[in-house]
Structure 1
Amino acid sequence: MRTLDHAACARAIFESIGGGENLVSAAHCATRLRLVVADAPKVDQKRLESLPGVMGVFCAGGQLQIILGTGTVNRVYEEFIKLSGLPGAPAAQKCTAPVLPLPQRLVKTLGDVFVPILPAIVAAGLLTGILDALGRALPAVAAADWFSFLKMVSGTAFVSLPVLVALSSARVFGGNLFLGGVVGLCMVHPTLLNAWSVGTAENVPVWHLLCFNVKQVGYQGHVIPVIIAVWLMSRLERWFRSRVPAALDLFVTPLCTVLITTFVTFTILGPCFSFAENCMIGLARQLSTVGHGIGALVMGALYPVTVVCGLHHMYNVIEAGLLSAGSLNIWMPIASAANFAQCGACLAVAFKTRDPKNKTVAIPSALSAALGITEPAIFGVNLRYVRPFVCAMVGGAVGAWFGTVTGIGATAYGVTGLPGFLIVGGYILPYAELLALSGGVAFAATWLFWQDVPAQDKTPG
């Protein structure tokens, strides 16, 4: 297999979009080069789709999105930025935000907050899964000092999740990261009653602040109140900085920003949005268990549709809430079933197609989906031909139903597919059956109902 020339690929993409005069901004995510162009008709999309290394091309949210795959996109992006001379992601975000409808902007914001902290959550979840497996296999190990030390390490990200969310939110909203960190730390301060201990506490201390009775309870297990609090903090900080004289800014702005933010958070925002978040998590639990798995079946079918619409980042809030509350992530099996079904459908296309270019795209796309990254499979293969995408929806529905009725749960989020074995603890066999079922149904359905067509007549079918 020939190694892709990243510089040549970037140059070809640059030429295909009409060069620098047609390029407004550039950014990238885990698998896609995301470009904003001045004049879309100038883009040679057919040439783009035929380039080596390009798995698919589509437009969404005012962006031209070119699927290159994990790892490859980073290297091509670096070469592309050298050619264009653009600063990259920040400009892209500013240019694209206004064209998105409000619901999509809200979901995009959630994604921007949670994606940067995923490595910490994934590392903690994987370590938790490994330790749980070790504790079951070798009970004597659980008494060792090393085991205790590693348990502390694995739990830190979840215990301090509000602080991580606050720091990331401050970056997204343009606030001072350290002021954001202070707000997050206030919400889990050691003098507050731990939210997980409220149920067993004999009495909950209360502050009487003006006309408010504020329970002295921390926000462990919550993320939405933290995001809203830091959004308010960022707005207040900008307001003060635009009005306070420069000589007093260092003293007045941080003090007033933190005091007002924490007071409003503990008296109004925190209680209101904690209630809303608890309702949302309760609804997610209900959806995944209602009707003997029927709710999960529906969500398994619709999950890839939310990926196409860019709404799947909202699930991070649900999964983080489930884990922070001390329960297993019961949403992960739904996501894993849906993702592995995309792998099965894409693999069927790879085996059945007679077009060498399609095989070249479909095989690595299927592998990527098996590892939990489905954009290449969805946008580069399955959605292009429609029927494989529908067959994957069916496979995801069946797998999600199976995952719910067998009670599979995970110790982390952000990990699906084959890597998910590391975070499902004692559910390894049912999880293997879930992957086989969802991928197998999607593969079989695609093989039966999708027909390949000659390269000169590629129409959905």
Structure 2
Amino acid sequence: MAHAQTVTILSPVAGEVIPLAAVKDPVFSAGMMGLGFGVQPTSGDIVAPVSGKVTMIAETKHALGFTTPDNNLEVLVHLGIDTVDLKGTPFKLTVAAGDEVKAGDTIATMDLAMIEKANRQTTVVLAVTNSSDKLDGLDVTTGTQTAGAVVATGRLNANTFNAKRQGRLPKAGKYDQLAADIVENVGGVENISSLIHCITRLRFYLKDESKANDDVVANLKGVIDIAKAGGQYQVVIGPAVTDVYDAVIKLIGPEFSNDSETAKAVAETNAAANRPDTAWGLVKWGFSNLIGVITGSMIPVIGLLAASGILKGILALLITFKVVSTTAPTYVIISAMGDSVFYFLPIFVGFTAAKKLGSDPVIMGIIGGVLTYPSIVAIATKGKVVSTLFGMGINANFFGLPFHVASYTYSIFPMIAGAWLASKLEPWLKRVIPTVLRMIFVPLFEVVIVSGAILIFLGPVITIFSTGLANLIVTVYNLSPAISGLIIGGFYQVLVIFGLHWAVIPIVANDIATTGHSYLNAIISATMVAQGGAVMAIALKSKLANIQELAWPATISAFCGVTEPAMYGINLKYGRAFITASIGSAVGGFLTGLMRVNMWGFTGSLIGVTSFVNPQKGIDFSFYGFLIASLATIIVSFTLTWMFGFKDEDAEAVKTAPKKRHLGQVA
């Protein structure tokens, strides 16, 4: 029976070899960087502890990484403790990243006297950073040793041993290049104060956020997005965040894993330093952050929204051509498939917004469930109005406090606001509630407080605001259909961003219910067409596969009357595209109002073409006006977006950004 193979590791420096637990750095001594040992050096000559490739050299020269060719062990040699602040002065390297070395080769020297004079520890630490995957154990011989002496023997675990025998070892250093690119584009190691991570994202505390190249970082392969919150520069990675975090820490050094209180102080300082100092700067900064949170919260469900939009469009066609009846079980089943993601959108947005803002996703998902709970929905839609206040019906009370329960199905903004509130509330609750009680009482208080804040305060405020907007829209339309078409067309999709458009929908529904038609809905339909025209231009213009994969379904969905995938996934995310789409909306709305285009159905955009057929007279000028306005809308939004609204560099800044020297290179 074959025994598991062993590997040997040399002492990188002459001195006293000590157990890893004796190293005076908690990150190393606790084994967070992997199995290893420390050496109290008596000489400054550093040798390679293993044979292999130099895969990493820190910008400040205080850390080197090696990968062995036979077993893909990743070995880190860290020169001194807290020596990153010395900016490389005590170290002279004779190797560069990419060099092949043999165990025992001289690779560097360190000036021990200079390090001691700077009140830093000279301890050299060696750690096998992937030992949890590769090794069953590491036996270390302590005591005085010479540089290049065998001081550690590692036992390969069964998986690695068998994989090696079968010639299928995984590629080493999978995330090393991504880590190097991230560090380089957040301003380099000298711009990093500390780094932590959560379940999906790296959370940097930077000394100066303006030095970070946002576009480059956001478009690195392996990075989903970036966010800035609470003084943190957050790089969204996803499930591989722990691996990427390990690769970054291996690159910059474990001393950047500062404790939470230090990190918090750094965060507050950075937040104050990076906040704009002018009123207009604050407005732009706040609006930019808000749009970033909204789009970031919606991105994970964009595919579902697009698919549901297409399904709703197909269902509209089936009804129009009388393939199915609205009372048939077939209709109910397909409608549930297409409508469920919208109906329960607060649950999904609560989860994704919480991940974006740093609160508990599961708790926010539950709060979304509170808002879509059938009894709450029944109060909002069928509840008895006992009085009115600021134009809204008072239909409920909470311990005697009267308030208005709004309808939250299909809503987005209340959940984002709730997730923000939860992100502030959670840390406070965890500070004041004893550890043994947190598991129960943090979720309890959070659900009660955030749900109550949305239902009793935020919902009524949004209702008052949206009702006022709806009344303003009706007033403008009554003054001049053409001017109102221009204004409503240009700004209606802005209302969609914040969920305020739901105050207009009842007006449309009432028009159709009482008169059988709605001029206002015809203008709204043009805004849907415009979003589709803009995203179609991006789908055709872009050469990037990830943009096309999102833009084409979003185009179909917009033309089927669901614009959220186009807006949140593409147009709003790249800013100018939403503006060019809104200009197209304004043109389409103006023409629709000018030609007095009428609409007899509820389904809009191109899929709703039959809604513009007069049920009494058949095809009349409203039908032709719809075609003319839609064609003009598509031409304007498509052309402006193609020319001014988007270019691949917006989504792939890496290709056009100036290339900097990589961290592993030496001058």
Counterpart Cα distance in 2 of 1:229 and 1:196: 22
Counterpart Cα distance in 2 of 1:190 and 1:410: 25
Q: Which has the higher strand share?
A: 2
Equivalent residue for 1:406, pick from 584, 590, 597: 597
> How do residues 378-397 of structure 1 correspond to structure 2 at under 5 angstroms?
397=586
1:260 match: 449
Bigger radius of gyration, 1 or 2? 2
Counterpart code for 1:237:
E
2:530 match: 337
| Deviation readout 1:153-194 (Å, 9 max, x if unpaired) | 223233323333333332233221221122222223223334
> How do residues 43-82 of structure 1 correspond to structure 2 at under 5 angstroms?
65=215, 77-78=221-222
Equivalent residue for 2:373, pick from 169, 189, 208: 189
Report the 3-state secondary structure (helix = DSSP H, G, I; strand = E; otherwise coil) of the residue aligned with 1:213: strand
The answer to whether the aligner puts 1:271 opposite 2:460 as a matched pair is yes
Q: Which runs of 5+ in 2 are unaligned?
A: 1-176, 193-205, 226-232, 242-266, 277-283, 388-392, 510-520, 556-565, 613-622, 642-667
Counterpart code for 1:334:
T
Q: Which has the higher helix share?
A: 1
Greater Cα offset, 264-273 or 286-295:
286-295
1:426 match: 611
Give the direction of change, closer, same or farther, for the CA distance of 1:164–1:79 in structure 2 (3 Å limit): closer
Give the direction of change, closer, same or farther, for the CA distance of 1:123–1:410 in structure 2 (3 Å limit): farther
Equivalent residue for 1:165, pick from 341, 346, 349: 349
Equivalent residue for 2:631, pick from 431, 436, 440: 436
Report the 3-state secondary structure (helix = DSSP H, G, I; strand = E; otherwise coil) of the residue aligned with 2:351: helix
Q: Which runs of 5+ in 1 are unaligned?
A: 1-10, 26-36, 43-61, 307-311, 351-358, 384-388, 413-419, 447-461
1:119 match: 303
Counterpart code for 1:337:
A
The answer to whether the aligner puts 1:232 opposite 2:427 as a matched pair is no
Structure 1 residue 300, shift from structure 2 partner: 5.4
Structure 1 residue 123, shift from structure 2 partner: 2.9
Counterpart Cα distance in 1 of 2:214 and 2:638: 30
Give the direction of change, closer, same or farther, for the CA distance of 1:177–1:322 in structure 2 (3 Å limit): farther
Structure 1 residue 195, shift from structure 2 partner: 1.9
Equivalent residue for 1:242, pick from 431, 441, 445: 431
Q: 8 Å contact 2:523–2:588 — kept in the other structure?
A: no
Q: 8 Å contact 1:128–1:411 — kept in the other structure?
A: no
Counterpart code for 2:482:
G
1:153 match: 337
Report the 3-state secondary structure (helix = DSSP H, G, I; strand = E; otherwise coil) of the residue aligned with 2:375: coil
1:356 match: none
Equivalent residue for 1:104, pick from 288, 295, 304: 288
Structure 1 residue 200, shift from structure 2 partner: 9.2
| Deviation readout 1:345-379 (Å, 9 max, x if unpaired) | 999xx9xxxxxxxx999xx99x9699465699997
Identity of aligned residues (%): 18
Report the 3-state secondary structure (helix = DSSP H, G, I; strand = E; otherwise coil) of the residue aligned with 1:101: helix
Counterpart code for 1:209:
F
2:197 match: none
Give the direction of change, closer, same or farther, for the CA distance of 1:88–1:196 in structure 2 (3 Å limit): same
| Deviation readout 1:54-112 (Å, 9 max, x if unpaired) | xxxxxxxx85547x9xxxx7xx634999xxxx994379xx9999566223323333333
Q: 8 Å contact 2:324–2:330 — kept in the other structure?
A: no
Report the 3-state secondary structure (helix = DSSP H, G, I; strand = E; otherwise coil) of the residue aligned with 2:373: coil
Q: What's the C-alpha RMSD, in Å, of the aligned pairs?
A: 5.8
Question: How does the TM-score come out when normalised to structure 2?
Answer: 0.41
Structure 1 residue 249, shift from structure 2 partner: 1.1
Q: Which has the higher contact order (CA 8 A, sep 6+)?
A: 1
Q: 8 Å contact 1:319–1:331 — kept in the other structure?
A: no
| Deviation readout 1:191-250 (Å, 9 max, x if unpaired) | 33342324799998744516x134667544654444333432332222101222211211
Counterpart Cα distance in 1 of 2:349 and 2:330: 29
Q: 8 Å contact 2:395–2:405 — kept in the other structure?
A: yes
Equivalent residue for 1:209, pick from 391, 399, 420: 399
Question: How does the TM-score come out when normalised to structure 1?
Answer: 0.56
Size of the aligned set, in residue pairs, is 363
The answer to whether the aligner puts 1:295 opposite 2:439 as a matched pair is no
Give the direction of change, closer, same or farther, for the CA distance of 1:201–1:103 in structure 2 (3 Å limit): same
Q: 8 Å contact 2:530–2:582 — kept in the other structure?
A: no
Counterpart code for 1:77:
K
Q: 8 Å contact 1:111–1:314 — kept in the other structure?
A: no
The answer to whether the aligner puts 1:130 opposite 2:314 as a matched pair is yes
> How do residues 309-328 of structure 1 correspond to structure 2 at under 5 angstroms?
315=497, 317-319=499-501
